[in-house]
Structure 1
Amino acid sequence: MINIRLLKAFPKSAQYIRLNVLFQWLGLLMNVILSASIAYLIASAIEQRPISWIVFVIMILSLCVRMICNDRAVQMSFASSSLVKEQMRERLFSKLSKIGPSYLKTFSTAQIVQLSSEGVDQLETYFGNYIPQFFFALLAPLTLFLITLWFDWKAALILFMCVPLIPVSIVFVQKIAKKLLSKYWGQYTQLGDRFLENLQGLSTLKIYQADERKQEEMKEEAEQFRKITMRVLIMQLNSISIMDLVAYGGAAAGIISMLTSFQNGTITLFGALFIVLMSAEFFIPMRTLGSYFHIAMNGMAASDTMFQLLDLEEKEHPIQELAPFSSLKIENLSFAYEEKPILKNLSLSIKKGEKIAFVGESGSGKSTIAHLMMGILQPNTGSICWNESEICEIEPSIYSPHISYLGHTSSLFLGTVGINLKMGKADASEQEMWIALKQAGIADLFQEKEGLQTPVKEGGSNFSGGQRQRLALARLLLKNSGVMILDESTSNVDVESEDQIIQTVKDLDDKTIIMISHRLKNSMDADRIYVLKEGAIQEVGDHETLLKNKGEYARLWNAQQNLERYNGGTQDEAK
């Protein structure tokens, strides 16, 4: 009924939970005083005894104190749940930043989104309501038993003995509920995965007229989710019915025992009325606990997945300081996605100030090399060394400022041009940002608009592909890293933007440039070109040398030149 690890994970929430229980208990005592006052008034009226005005004062005071206690209990509930949600989200994001994209081996992006939003929100009920109610539900019946014991020990004992039947029924239901709710949460995240995938690929589905088929698949999965949701609801309703039966049955048994005592004259009218009013109070805390139980189980099911993420192995990074870049060495490096080899026994060296290019057919492992250099992926065998230090041993926050990456689709974020640029350098001045925009050949566009305050929509959707890429290049230049990796950075842009980006890169004489491109024209000026084929280095040399060798590079070059001549001729005919 309680996840010990979940409780131990947030020790600071304990003080709020204790105060929550305390205020609920004080509220219970006020309710006891109020019920005793009501019983006294009724008994006095029946027995025609005078009623003191002090009773009414006591009733008003107990009501006021109970209201204050209830309000404070709600505040403590909010404080504990807010603390837990904040800390859990912080831990999840911290973990993700430490392990990087390697989490994708175990979790999908949709799962991470759901865990950090709906999943964490499920903990609100667990810490804010369920846990305080659990301890209060243990304390309340014992308190009421000790009070009612003075009036009729038989009725008090019967009421007290019937209370544990509710948690027994909860434990019985839990065995079924845990497996069912785990399956429910898995189905929920799977449905979210599929929805996000279809939404992101909607244009592709439309092009291939596969949207209707995917819609039917979504309908089937949604129907499966509906069925398991209904099973969860049926289980909840059945368990609530069982708890109600126990609560009402126990209260009735206690009242019947009290009536027997009253008939025998062993209890006064006041005592009898008081027990009638208190009989329901014995079971209400446990009954409320039962109503929170099923929602709390959702939180526990989500927390199991959260702990799976938090338990993912983190590689230690003993190197906390990094000298300026002098060389990057790859030795005997191999890498495979699952069981498919991508890179095979690569060895090479890159020195400061060099412009290096990796070329080859699609699937030859070019982008994988870039991800390995960035530390996003880890090699299966071999090593990548920054100067003399393996990058897998360097603290990512230390390594990141020294190396930059520009892919074929760079992310722009909702905000302004200035906000996006400052991701490259947080303390960048306006002058520095304008210099970077001019270097990227896009300053004129923003000068005609609202300058650095020009709005950027989500994903940069209010700009063309070329404009987005040049803005991303300006951000890269502003970061001013010693090593810059351009991974197919011109593959999705127009010719003008491509030429501008390539020219900007050529002018960076003081930087080490690593360029990955399917267009060999962009690699012509590289100091050294590595030609990859089936994950291995096929050839190495500059442009002229590789053409003279008439090997793989020359074959790719000639094929691209013929294709460009053909396209040019086709366009001339069209004109």
Structure 2
Amino acid sequence: MTHNNLKHHIRWAWSISQGYRSKLLLYFVLELLAIALSLLFVYLSKKAVDMAISPTDIPLRWTLIGIVATVGVGLGIRAYTGWLNERIKMMLTFELQRNMLDAQMLSVWRLIKNWHTGDIQVRIQTDCEEVANMIAKTLLSFILTAIQLLASMVFLWYMDPMLALMILALSPLFLFSKIYFQKMRKLSQEVKGEESNFSNILQENLRFRLLIRAMGIFPKRRKKLTDSQRDLFGLKMKQLNFSTYTQSVMKVSINAGYLLTFIWGIYRLQSGQISFGTMTAFLQLVARIQTPILALITFIPGFVRFRVAADRLLELKSGEIESQMDQQRLRGIAALEIQNLSFRYEDKWVLDHLNLSLRAGEPVAVVGPSGKGKTTLIRLLLALIKAEKGQILLTDRAGTRPLSAAHRINFAYIPQGNSLFSGTIRENLMLHVQKAEHIDIQKALWVACAEFVMELPEGIDTVVGESGMGLSEGQAQRIAIARALMHDGDIWLFDEVTSALDRKTADTLIHRLLDYGENKLCLFVTHDLTLANICKQRLYLD
């Protein structure tokens, strides 16, 4: 993992906070007011106790009213700031998660293959929350706590300088050491890494649960998950043990400070050097000093988690992102020309000086063994990857132009295998429909040989599960074909469109597709020789 320096983390966090800074400033100012009211409460309570023992000319009820007012207003402010802060944190978390998800959705192909889905999910869900929590809450809480500590120490110094020095000396500030920070960061990195590994295994087990049972490998996959849980448990126990030790040291120091204050105050009260009201103020101020110190100590783990999470998110976002541009719907596309196209993965060329011409009404079949570049060709046509050499040209009524990602809207693409999303069939069919630019649903279902949809209990509003759960592979494939046809693009890219169909259904589908697509540019990647022989052009990749 790449480790960015603190300055980089701060600049990145500052950029994320844009749009929320005015709300965070309001939260900060109100919290400052709440701190001032809490110190005013200490002062007024001291006055009230002294006035109760030694009456003065000022009525006691006014001091008591002031105490009640400070408590009431303080509670109201804290209730509002708590609500405001949680709202900001949620909004910031969701926005950061959207941005990270967008970055992954638009990553170039060579980066997508570097990340496991389970790892990405952990980073987007938990790491984004860690960063948002630092920006919206932890950092401001740290500053406010430091201000509260400083103000309380000044107040205590004013009342008894020696006591202030003793309290400060016994506070467990040594835990802010570099060794403590490094230990916490190392443990956090190890836990985050194992959480991602566990999520990877869990995601795969759930995704392939039927396949795992069918292959009889459930015991091995379960053991893999259990082993990851065991490793994660061990790492979290290390964190827990370290945290328990440091917290125990802090609690001993806190209690020692309180006992010291109590004993010191009793002796000074007995000797008549302080009043009873001052004694009560001492005890309240000690709590207001030691509690912030404890809060400052607990800031370290949160800060460590933030830096680890920031590294993981910046690593996730560091790759090349496909620029977003307005989609260009072309009219009357007559030809697509592939000229001297070459592409390689690492050091292996899969396409070398490929030439191909697609014309309306002249379907092309691309055949050949696996691993010879058929799927790569589709990715190049969809501008998901860039060719090393050569070019792809589109010709429409306005002329000829190089193919780009902005032209993707002109393609109707049917990938190999099941590609349905959870939801209703209607939602799947309408996924990338642009306004009125689509064919009739009934027509699309008929061309795709998916008329069976109308016989389902809820028709096109029937809900299908994840990856088309509840449908046969062939049914899901035909609905996916209908979905692509609904878009009514001028260029059809079909990847193994008949792979899950019986021969009779496949022949009917081919006939309907070619008949309806007589004015389309059609490219079929296929192992179906019947389909290949019907096409007017055949390209063999070997």
What TM bracket, shorter-length normalisation? 0.7 to 0.9
1:540 corresponding residue in structure 2: none
Q: Distance in 2 between matches of 1:351 and 1:502?
A: 18
2:447 aligned with 1:439:
yes
2:435 aligned with 1:422:
no
3-state SS of paired residue (1:423) = coil
The alpha-carbon deviation at position 85 of structure 1 amounts to: 1.1
1:215 corresponding residue in structure 2: 222
Q: 1:184 aligns with which of 183, 191, 197?
A: 191
Flag the 1:100–1:313 CA change in 2: closer, same or farther, 3 A. closer
The residue identity in structure 2 corresponding to 1:32 is L
Kept in 2, the 8 Å contact 1:122–1:296? The answer is: no
Q: 2:413 aligns with which of 405, 419, 422?
A: 405
Q: Distance in 2 between matches of 1:264 and 1:189?
A: 63
The residue identity in structure 1 corresponding to 2:62 is I
2:454 aligned with 1:450:
no
Q: Distance in 1 between matches of 2:439 and 2:521?
A: 25
Counting only pairs closer than 5 Å after superposition, residues 50-449 of structure 1 correspond to structure 2 as 52-159=60-167, 165-166=172-173, 168-169=175-176, 172-251=179-258, 267-295=274-302, 297-314=304-321, 323-324=330-331, 325-387=333-395, 389-391=401-403, 394=404, 396=405, 398-427=406-435, 432-443=440-451, 445-446=453-454, 449=457
Q: 1:9 aligns with which of 8, 13, 16?
A: 16
How many residue pairs get aligned? The number is: 528
Q: Distance in 2 between matches of 1:527 and 1:321?
A: 29
| Structure 1 stretches lacking a partner, 5+ long | 534-575
Kept in 2, the 8 Å contact 1:156–1:254? The answer is: no
The alpha-carbon deviation at position 231 of structure 1 amounts to: 1.0
Moved more, 369-378 or 438-447: 438-447
1:516 corresponding residue in structure 2: 525
3-state SS of paired residue (1:335) = strand
2:3 corresponding residue in structure 1: none
Q: CA RMSD in A?
A: 3.1
The alpha-carbon deviation at position 281 of structure 1 amounts to: 0.5
Q: Distance in 1 between matches of 2:482 and 2:101?
A: 27
The residue identity in structure 1 corresponding to 2:193 is G
The residue identity in structure 2 corresponding to 1:525 is I
3-state SS of paired residue (2:478) = helix
2:541 aligned with 1:532:
yes
Moved more, 291-300 or 495-504: 291-300
Kept in 1, the 8 Å contact 2:448–2:513? The answer is: no
The alpha-carbon deviation at position 491 of structure 1 amounts to: 0.9
Q: Distance in 2 between matches of 1:336 and 1:523?
A: 26
The residue identity in structure 1 corresponding to 2:21 is A
Flag the 1:251–1:417 CA change in 2: closer, same or farther, 3 A. same
Flag the 1:16–1:162 CA change in 2: closer, same or farther, 3 A. farther
Percent sequence identity is 19
Kept in 2, the 8 Å contact 1:440–1:470? The answer is: yes
Kept in 2, the 8 Å contact 1:422–1:475? The answer is: yes
The alpha-carbon deviation at position 373 of structure 1 amounts to: 1.4
Kept in 2, the 8 Å contact 1:446–1:454? The answer is: no
Flag the 1:18–1:135 CA change in 2: closer, same or farther, 3 A. farther
Kept in 1, the 8 Å contact 2:340–2:389? The answer is: yes
Moved more, 227-236 or 29-38: 29-38
The residue identity in structure 1 corresponding to 2:450 is I
Kept in 1, the 8 Å contact 2:119–2:199? The answer is: yes
Kept in 2, the 8 Å contact 1:130–1:293? The answer is: no
Q: Distance in 1 between matches of 2:326 and 2:38?
A: 62
Q: 1:478 aligns with which of 479, 486, 494?
A: 486
CA deviation profile, 1:255-286 (whole Å, cap 9, x unmatched): 66666765675544322321221112012123
Q: Distance in 2 between matches of 1:70 and 1:23?
A: 8
Flag the 1:167–1:73 CA change in 2: closer, same or farther, 3 A. farther
| Structure 2 stretches lacking a partner, 5+ long | 1-5
Kept in 2, the 8 Å contact 1:169–1:243? The answer is: no
The residue identity in structure 2 corresponding to 1:522 is L
Q: Distance in 2 between matches of 1:362 and 1:202?
A: 26
Kept in 2, the 8 Å contact 1:20–1:73? The answer is: yes
2:501 aligned with 1:501:
no
Kept in 2, the 8 Å contact 1:356–1:526? The answer is: yes
Flag the 1:257–1:486 CA change in 2: closer, same or farther, 3 A. same
The alpha-carbon deviation at position 16 of structure 1 amounts to: 3.0
The alpha-carbon deviation at position 424 of structure 1 amounts to: 3.2
Q: Distance in 2 between matches of 1:452 and 1:74?
A: 46
CA deviation profile, 1:340-367 (whole Å, cap 9, x unmatched): 4433332333334431111012222212
Kept in 2, the 8 Å contact 1:126–1:295? The answer is: yes
1:30 corresponding residue in structure 2: 37
The alpha-carbon deviation at position 230 of structure 1 amounts to: 0.8
Kept in 1, the 8 Å contact 2:48–2:60? The answer is: no
Q: Distance in 2 between matches of 1:390 and 1:241?
A: 68
Q: Distance in 2 between matches of 1:54 and 1:339?
A: 85
Q: Distance in 2 between matches of 1:290 and 1:385?
A: 63
Flag the 1:410–1:274 CA change in 2: closer, same or farther, 3 A. same
Q: Distance in 1 between matches of 2:321 and 2:186?
A: 30
